[in-house]
C-alpha cells in the first residue's frame, strides 16, 4: 500500500510538471527550466519541506498555512519575473494574495482552537499517506494559481475590457460569499448554545456549502481575468476553476463533510430535511 501511494505521489508530481512545461509561454527560464516548470517544482519542494516537519512532529497544524504561504510566495515570484507589470497583472496578483492571506490564517486559527484537523487522524501516522497529502496540496496550489501566474508574467498593455471586469466581479462576489460563510460558521460554533448542532442559518440556510461555492466562483473569476492574457498552450491553465470544483465537490470537500455530517446527525429529522431541501452548492436566492 505504501509503495502504491508513493508511486501515485510521483505520478501526480510528474503530471503537474508536464502541464507547467506544456503551458509555459513566458520564453524565460529559471535554474535551467521553463519558468512555469521551475515554479511548479518550487511549489512541491516547499510542500515536501513542510512534510518533513509535519511527519517529525506528527502534526497537521501548519498544513493549510503552508499552502496559503506558498500561494503568496509563488505569486510574488511571478511579479518579480514579469517583464511588464501593468494594472492588469497587479490586480490579478492582488486577487490571489488577498485570498490566500485571509484564508491561511483563518484555517490555521481554526485548527488551533479545535486542537486537531480530524481529517489527518490516520493520515499523519503514515509517511506515504502524508506524502500524498502534501503532494496533492502542491498540485492544488499550482494548478489553481496557474492561470493567474501565467497572466502575471505575460505582457498585456491593452486596456482592461469587459471580460476582465466580469472576472473581477466574479472574484469579488465569490470572495464575499466565502468570507461571510466562514464568519457565520465561526460565530455559530463559538456559541455554547450550538454545541453539537449543525449550522442551517444565514447563508447556510441557502446552501449546504456556501464557502465552497464562493471559492469556486472566485477562482473562476481569476481565470476569466487571466483569459485575455493567455494564448496557445497557455490555455491549459484555464483548468484552474474546474480543478477547484472537482476537488471541493468530489474529493476533499463535500464528500468528507457529508460523511461526517451523516455520522453525527443522520438520525436527526431536521438534518435530513436540511440535506433534502437545501442546495448542495449554489445558494438559492429565495
Say whether pLDDT at 119 is over 90: no
Residue 286 pLDDT greater than 90, yes or no: no
* Dihedrals phi, psi of 180, to nearest 5 degrees: -60, -45
Report whether pLDDT(124) > 90.
no
Closest Cα partner for 60 from 104, 111, 109? 111
> According to the per-residue pLDDT averaged within each range, which of 79-93, 147-161, 169-183 is highest?
169-183
- Buried b / exposed e along 148-168 (16+ C-beta atoms within 10 A): bbbbbbbebeeebeeebeebb
Query: What is the rounded distance in angstroms from the CA atom of residue 137 to the CA atom of residue 152?
Result: 22
Supply the pLDDT for residue 49: 95
Whether 130 and 70 have beta carbons less than 8 Å apart is answered as no
In 115-161, which ranges are continuous DSSP H helix?
127-152
Sequence-separated contacts (24+) of 43-46 with Cβ below 8 Å: 43/70, 43/74, 43/138, 43/141, 43/142, 44/13, 44/16, 44/135, 44/138, 44/142, 46/70, 46/73, 46/138
Question: CA-CA distance, 20 to 151, in Å (whole number)?
Answer: 13
Please say if the pLDDT value at position 188 is more than 80.
Answer: yes
Mean pLDDT for 123-135 is: 86
* Contacts of residue 247, Cβ cutoff 8 Å, sequence gap at least 6: 140, 253
- Condensed to tens digits (0 to 9), the pLDDT of residues 48-73 reads 999 998 888 888 888 899 999 999 99
Question: Between the ranges 107-111, 129-133, 211-215, where is the mean pLDDT highest?
Answer: 211-215
Q: Which residues contact 196 (CB under 8 A, 6 or more apart)?
A: 264
- Mean pLDDT in residue range 127-134: 89
Residue 236 has a pLDDT of 97
pLDDT at 126: 80
Q: What is the pTM of this model?
A: 0.93
pLDDT of amino acid 276: 94
Task: Evaluate whether 216 touches 256 at the Cβ level (below 8 Å).
Answer: no
Give the residue from 15, 254, 37 showing the smallest Cα distance to 139: 15
What whole-number distance in Å separates Cα of residue 16 and Cα of residue 265?
Answer: 39
Give the distance, in angstroms, between the CA of residue 230 and the centroid of all CA atoms in the same chain.
Answer: 21
pLDDT at 118: 73
Residue 252 has pLDDT above 80, yes or no: yes
Residue 18 grid cell: 508536464
Q: How confident is the model at residue 233 (pLDDT cuts 50, 70, 90)?
A: very high
Q: What is the DSSP track for 18-40?
A: HHHHHH--S--EETTEEHHHHHH
At residue 122, the 3 state secondary structure works out as coil
Of the pLDDT bands very low, low, confident and very high (cuts 50, 70, 90), residue 117 is: confident
The per-residue DSSP string of 152-205 comes to: HTS---SPP-HHHHHHHHHHHHHHHHHHHHHHHHHHHHHSGGGTT----SGGGG
pLDDT of residue 213: 98
- The predicted pLDDT at position 2 comes to 78
Locate 35 and state its grid cell.
519558468
**Whole-number percent of the chain with pLDDT over 70:** 100
Whether the predicted pLDDT of 226 surpasses 80: yes
Amino acid at each position: 500500500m505504501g509503495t502504491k501511494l508513493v508511486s501515485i505521489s510521483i505520478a501526480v508530481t510528474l503530471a503537474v510538471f508536464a502541464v507547467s512545461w506544456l503551458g509555459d509561454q513566458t520564453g524565460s527560464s529559471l535554474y535551467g527550466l521553463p519558468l512555469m516548470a521551475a515554479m511548479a517544482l518550487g511549489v512541491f519542494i516547499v510542500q515536501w519541506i513542510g512534510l518533513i516537519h509535519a511527519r517529525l512532529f506528527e502534526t497537521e497544524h501548519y498544513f493549510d498555512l503552508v499552502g496559503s504561504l506558498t500561494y503568496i510566495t509563488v505569486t510574488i515570484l511571478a511579479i518579480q519575473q514579469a517583464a511588464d507589470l501593468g494594472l492588469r497583472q497587479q490586480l490579478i496578483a492582488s486577487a490571489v494574495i488577498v485570498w490566500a492571506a485571509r484564508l491561511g490564517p483563518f484555517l490555521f486559527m481554526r485548527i488551533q482552537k479545535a486542537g486537531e484537523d480530524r481529517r489527518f487522524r490516520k493520515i499523519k501516522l503514515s509517511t506515504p499517506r502524508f506524502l500524498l497529502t502534501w503532494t496533492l496540496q502542491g498540485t492544488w496550489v499550482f494548478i489553481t494559481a496557474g492561470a493567474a501566474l501565467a497572466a502575471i508574467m505575460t505582457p498585456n498593455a491593452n486596456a482592461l475590457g469587459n471580460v476582465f471586469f466580469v472576472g473581477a466581479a466574479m472574484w469579488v462576489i465569490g470572495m464575499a460569499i466565502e468570507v461571510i460563510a466562514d464568519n457565520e460558521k465561526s460565530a455559530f460554533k463559538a456559541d455554547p448554545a450550538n454545541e453539537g448542532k449543525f449550522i442551517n442559518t444565514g447563508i447556510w440556510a441557502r446552501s449546504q456549502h456556501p464557502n465552497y461555492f464562493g471559492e469556486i466562483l472566485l477562482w473562476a473569476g481569476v481565470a476569466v481575468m487571466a483569459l485575455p492574457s493567455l494564448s496557445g498552450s497557455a490555455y491549459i491553465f484555464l483548468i484552474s476553476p474546474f480543478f477547484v470544483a472537482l476537488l471541493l465537490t468530489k474529493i476533499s470537500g463535500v464528500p468528507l463533510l457529508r460523511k461526517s455530517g451523516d455520522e453525527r446527525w443522520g438520525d436527526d429529522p431536521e438534518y435530513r430535511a436540511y440535506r433534502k431541501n437545501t442546495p448542495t452548492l449554489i445558494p438559492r436566492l429565495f
